[in-house]
Structure 1
Amino acid sequence: MVSLWKSKNRDEEAHSGSSSPQEGEADVENGHRRTTREEPDERTRLLPSNPNPPPHHDGYLDPDDPAVSPYNLWTVRALRYLSVIFLVVSFLWWVLLLVSIFVSPPGMHSRGSGFFDFSYTTLTVGNLLMGLLFFANPSRALRIGCMILAIILLIDMIIILAVGRIRVEEGWVGIASVVWATVIAAWTVVTDRAVAWGKREEEERLTGRAENRRTLREWCAVFTSAVINVILIIVAILLTATLILRSRDASLAPAGDRYYVDSDKYQIHLACVGNQTYTDDGEPNPTVLVEAGEGTVEYDLLPFISNAYKNGTIDRYCFYDRPGFGWSDNAPSPHSAGMTADVLSEVLAQAGEEGPWVLVSAGIGSVYSRIFSSRHYQQVTGILLIDPLHEDLLYRVGAPGRGFVLWARGIISPLGFTRLAGALFKGRTREDRVYGGSAYQGGKFIKAKLQESLVANSLTKSEVSSARTIQGRDTPLVVVSSGIEVRRNAEWEKKQHDLTTLTDKLVAWDIVSKAPHAVWKTLSGRETLEKRLRELVK
């Protein structure tokens, strides 16, 4: 029995061995040796599968084999997918900010220019594009550059958050843009380092050692990425320098006060000088309300008005900054002259100023004054127009070419080329930049001019044409024209003459022969203006 059981057991073992060979055992079938192997995984699937390599073969791939790639690792692929998602999100945000320059989406109005938000988002998109284009070619130069960029952007973020005026002007949109730019710069450092690690891992696994040499194509990629990185760093440095200038300018206190308007969306600056005087009958004497021309009121008309006040020609005057000018915030887009006139009415009401008014304006400012006069003709006792712009000539302001130039200037304004050069080499002060001769270089001013241009020949022209229809006919009117402009352009002379018919009470139409468009900049111009102003006020 024992011998029969042993014999049966040997037969079963023999039968089992022939039907299911163990791992590592081999049989001969049709003259070929067959070996059982494990299923390949991500770590082994790219290795050579020949179990009997030639004597000179070490079992690794060639370093130039396309299979030697960091993309073999799921972590590297995941980082790339995330970078693509970040790029799509940043690009959509970039498009939204571009549109908001022309039409402000609800809740996205920036009391500043909005050009800084756009610049930081452009920097973010450029950084992500650079990282994706050279994703498979990591380099220490790229990591160092992105780290420097992240530090600079972090400084910008601190400045925006720390300086109250800049924080208010940029709003949540600007803060979100600079924070996102900082995060993406740090993200680029992380991804490049991760790809460098993955590349080294795959080279050691598939070729036996980490590759130290680079092909000509790889060196070109490293050089190109380094150049782009340097450009991004220079842009970031210029943004930081401009922010520092803005911080300096924010310390300049305004004359008068700022008032919230349009449901507290932004603030407008208004200031009044002098005490209210009264006639013998107890009626208040008129206050001169000054409207800026092409520049800020403080730089253009205020020196002349201030001198008239010192001379006793006028007893009291008020002036304000249109949206985007001087100490006033930018208004939401689009914004027309009629909207500005309504804003001025709101500011005067908040300040408790009730008139009566003698309106003084120059150039395109006459359009704003005329609209305001038509809506408050009972409080307006006189109008002085200095070389005014006729509504039929608003097409010049709204020319597409002019609008494009303003947009282009606004886009590069955060870099502050002219402002930085003026501050460093020409001694420009904060007064110059806020309301002086350099104010036109600022993003807020450029944005206001762009808004003015976009609707000049449509909304604004319609508003001023309607104002002419409802203008009080018994309001005293003075028109003082530039003799140089009248002689140079027959159409300008014709339109000046037409503006003398705005009311039925034309006091005078003076043409100052040697005066430029800014009539008050000549002695004869100032004398004529002061004489006519005295007649309107007294």
Structure 2
Amino acid sequence: MVSIWGSSRRNDEGRGEEGHQDPDNREPDERTRLLPRDAQNEGFLSPDDPAVSPYNLWSIRALRFFSSVFLAISFVWWVFLLVSIFVSPPLMFNRGSGFTDFSYTTLTVGNLIISLLFFAVPSRPMIMWNIILALLLVVDMIIILAVPRIRLEEGWVGIASTVWAALISIYNVFQIYAVEKGKEEEEERLTGRVETRRSLLEWTAVLAETIVLGVVALVAILLTATLILRARDASLEAPGKRYFVNNGKYQVHLACIGNITYPDVTGEKDKKQKPTILVEAGEFPSEHSLQPFVHNAYQNGTIDRYCYWDRPGFAWSDNAPSPHSAGMSADALSEALALAGEEGPWILVSAGVGSIHSRIFASRHIHDISGLFMIDPMHEDRLQQHIGTAGRGFVLWGRGIISPLGLDRLAGAIFKGRTREDRIYGKVSYQSGRFIKAKLQENLVAGSITASEIASARNIQTPETPLVVVSSGVEVRRSEDWARQQERMTGITENLVAWDVVRGAPHEVWRSFEGRQTLERRLAELIKQA
């Protein structure tokens, strides 16, 4: 801008006769450079002059600079969190899903982008929405810090992301207010009055920022409601115990039911201990799938003792660091059993994809395995063809990103009366971020690490191990590939006790009456042979 100060003379030292700086001859600064020398009203600028801007103030320029710096920091953190969903960087692993901290950081980045886009067009709706957003994020921060289970799951990464989001929202409220006051001050100084008019472009900007910030506030409301639901679920106690595994990085849930020793006729403990049933769930947590059937067999006297656990990310177990394969899951189970003082021998009962995990576990404990009982098991060829496909991985990732909003869980709790049990291990457990993260981890390594582990397990498996396979008649009739793969599963050992195809039974065979009868009868036969 061309200076409107006009030229002036100075003495050789730039001072007046008394040795002091002449105020009329001093260098213009941001407070005076746009004003004429005289104070006549006709010297004021037009309100439409581009020079009438809050950017004339160094404090406003500093706020914009800090907003840009905060955006850069938040974006770098956002990238780290995005990467940590797939590969856990050192010191950045948390025992939760990793989607919650990513959501709060995404909210922070979006909030900063909005504040920079509409930086010079502050408005009262903008201040109002940011105050609401700040209050909601402060509530979220309190919930995460106050509920021990959520605090442990989110770890320092989740806590830091939530606190940062809350601080940025508070900063944005201060920034909008400061820009608004600075804008009014400059208008009054340069034009003689505060401008009350807005151009069509400014009204459009106000409308856009109001709508966008309203959506952001709605997202924050959903995040808060989901955290409240998680706090409610955290009050449900787990049966059994949780054990730290993998050098104390995360906990898995393990429960054992029944007698561990059996007296002989002399009243002393029998050295030859009966095998314990070890349950490995399929696509859903044990408590919702196999455990009720096995517990019924325990109550009927078919079995004397059984143990079941939750794979990482299922039910009461934490998520494991990424990447995480079926073999790593088997190692976590081995460690939990050792910490619980459980020594076997074991009869492994598994279903669906859980059969992959059980076979790997059996290959690493060949002297402790008394039998394999597989219910509609998954063949390893399906790891590459179905479990590990890129399309499935992308869908799981997308579901995980929106899972902290809790759209399905909140609707289920409000309109369908879903309980804590339903959400943790029941019919809607698949909606939780931890479950989705576990399935995403399964997808990422299915065709590589897990495929290699199951190939090694097939070669190591003891041929004499008794084997029972019970297949779903529905799945066998539906797919010829599935039928052939079921038949091939009967050959993983040389000691096949029985192979049944239960007519009319679904993939979860125990959900049909005939299926339950067949399973319990074959389980009793396997125990007798073992």
Structure 1 or 2, whichever has the larger Rg, is: 1
CA distance in 2, matches of 1:43, 1:497: 86
Counterpart Cα distance in 2 of 1:52 and 1:363 = 86
* Shift, 1:140, TM fit: 1.4
- Does 1:479 pair with 2:469? yes
Pair 1:95 & 2:95 matched: no
1:205 to 189, 205, 215: 189
Pairing partner for 2:309 from 297, 320, 323: 320
Corresponding residue of 1:333: 322
Alignment of 1:356-505 (within 5 A): 356-395=345-384, 396-505=386-495
Over residues 232-279 of structure 1, what are the superposed CA-to-partner deviations in whole Å (9 max), with x where a residue is unaligned? 111111111111111111010000000000010000000001112448
What do residues 262-309 of structure 1 show as CA deviations (whole Å, max 9, x unaligned)? 010000000001112448664110100000000111001111111111
Q: Which residue of 141, 157, 167 corresponds with 2:151?
A: 167
TM-score of the aligned structures, taking structure 1 as reference length:
0.91
Alignment deviations for residues 310-338 of structure 1 (CA, whole Å, 9 cap, x no partner): 11110110000000001000000000000
Q: Which residue of 2 aligns with 1:240?
A: 224
**What is the rounded CA distance, in whole Å, between the counterparts of 2:211 and 2:168 in structure 1?**
19
Q: What pairs with 1:237-386 in structure 2 (closer than 5 Å)?
A: 237-278=221-262, 282-386=271-375
| Residue pair 1:277, 1:315 contacting (<8 A) in 2 also | no
Q: CA deviation at 1:43?
A: 2.1
Provide, for residues 108-167 of structure 1, a one-character-per-residue CA deviation record: whole Å limited to 9, x for no partner.
Answer: 111011111011101101110111000001111111111111111101111100000000
Question: CA separation of 1:411/1:459 partners in 2, compared to 1, >3 Å: closer, same or farther?
Answer: same
| Matching residue of 2:88 | 104
Q: 1:513 aligns with which of 498, 503, 517?
A: 503
The 10-residue stretch of structure 1 (325-334 or 195-204) with the greater mean CA deviation from structure 2: 195-204
Which deviates further from its counterpart, 161-170 or 39-48?
39-48
**Which ranges in structure 2 are unaligned for 5 or more consecutive residues?**
1-11, 17-23, 265-269
**1:223 to 2:210 alignment:** no
Matched letter for residue 296 of structure 2: N
Deviation at 1:486, TM superposition (A): 1.2
Partner of 1:146: 130
One of 17, 21, 43 as aligned partner of 2:31: 43
User: CA offsets per residue over residues 468-505 of structure 1, 9 Å max, x none?
Assistant: 00001110001111111111111111111111111110
Find the counterpart in structure 1 of residue 7 from structure 2.
none
Q: Which runs of structure 2 are paired with 1:10-159 in the superposition (5 Å)?
A: 38-48=26-36, 58-159=42-143
- 1:325 & 1:46 partners in 2: Cα distance? 66
Deviations 1:215-238 (A, max 9, x none): 111111111111111111111111
* Number of equivalences: 504
Please state how far the C-alpha of 1:437 moved relative to its aligned partner.
Answer: 0.5
CA distance in 2 between partners of 1:514 and 1:141 (Å): 61
Partner of 1:33: none
Q: Which residue of 1 aligns with 2:21?
A: none
Quickly say closer, same or farther: Cα 1:486–1:191, change in 2 above 3 A: same
Return the alpha-carbon distance in structure 2 between the equivalents of residues 164 and 148 of structure 1. Answer: 26
2: CA distance, partners of 1:343 / 1:38: 75
- Amino acid of the structure 2 residue aligned with 1:287: T
**CA contact under 8 A between 1:290 and 1:301: conserved in structure 2?**
yes
Structure 1 unaligned residues grouped into runs of 5+: 1-18, 24-35
What's the CA shift for 1:48?
4.5
Native 8 Å contact 1:337 1:460 kept in 2: yes
The normalised TM-score by structure 2 is 0.93
The 2-side partners of 1:52 and 1:430 are apart by 72
Q: Which amino acid aligns with 1:359?
A: L
- Is the contact between residue 382 and residue 536 of structure 1 (CA under 8 Å) also seen in structure 2? yes
Identify the residue that residue 13 of structure 1 maps to in structure 2.
none
CA distance in 1, matches of 2:398, 2:467: 39
CA-CA distance at 1:64 after TM superposition: 0.5
Once the 2 structures are TM-superposed, how far is the Cα of residue 204 of structure 1 from its aligned partner?
Answer: 1.1
Would you say 1:528 and 2:518 are equivalent positions?
A: yes
Match of 1:214 among 167, 185, 198: 198
**Amino acid of the structure 2 residue aligned with 1:301:** L
Between the two proteins, what is the percent identity of the paired residues?
A: 65
By how many angstroms is 1:39 displaced? 3.7
CA drift of 1:40 comes to 2.6
The one-letter code sitting in structure 2 at the alignment partner of 1:91 is: F
Counterpart amino acid of residue 451 in structure 1: Q
Residue deviations 1:17-46, cap 9 Å, x none? xx99x98xxxxxxxxxxxx85543222222
Residue type of the partner of 1:227? I
Letter in 1 for 2:381: D
**Counterparts of 2:101 and 2:30 in 1: how far apart (Å)?**
44
Q: Are the aligned partners of 1:297 and 1:319 in contact in 2 as well (CA < 8 Å)?
A: yes
1:331-375: CA deviation from partner (whole Å, max 9, x where unpaired): 000000000000100000000000010000000000000000011
Letter of the structure 1 residue corresponding to residue 245 of structure 2: V
Tell me which amino acid in the other structure corresponds to 1:488. R
Name the aligned partner's letter for residue 306 of structure 1. H
Letter in 1 for 2:389: A
Q: CA deviation at 1:432?
A: 0.6
Amino acid at match of 1:433: R
Partner Cα distance (2:482, 2:257) in 1? 34
Equivalent position amino acid for 1:185 in 2: S
Runs of at least 4 residues off by over 6 Å: none
Distance, in Å, in 2 between the alignment partners of 1:173 and 1:229 is 25
CA distance in 2 between partners of 1:140 and 1:421 (Å)? 33
Q: Matches of 2:263 and 2:498 in 1, distance apart?
A: 25
Cα distance between partner residues in 1 of 2:95 and 2:151: 10
Report SS of the residue matched to 1:105. Answer: coil
Determine helix, strand or coil for the equivalent of 2:404.
helix
- The Cα shift of 1:52 comes to 12
Q: For 1:105 and 1:410, how far apart are their aligned partners in 2?
A: 19
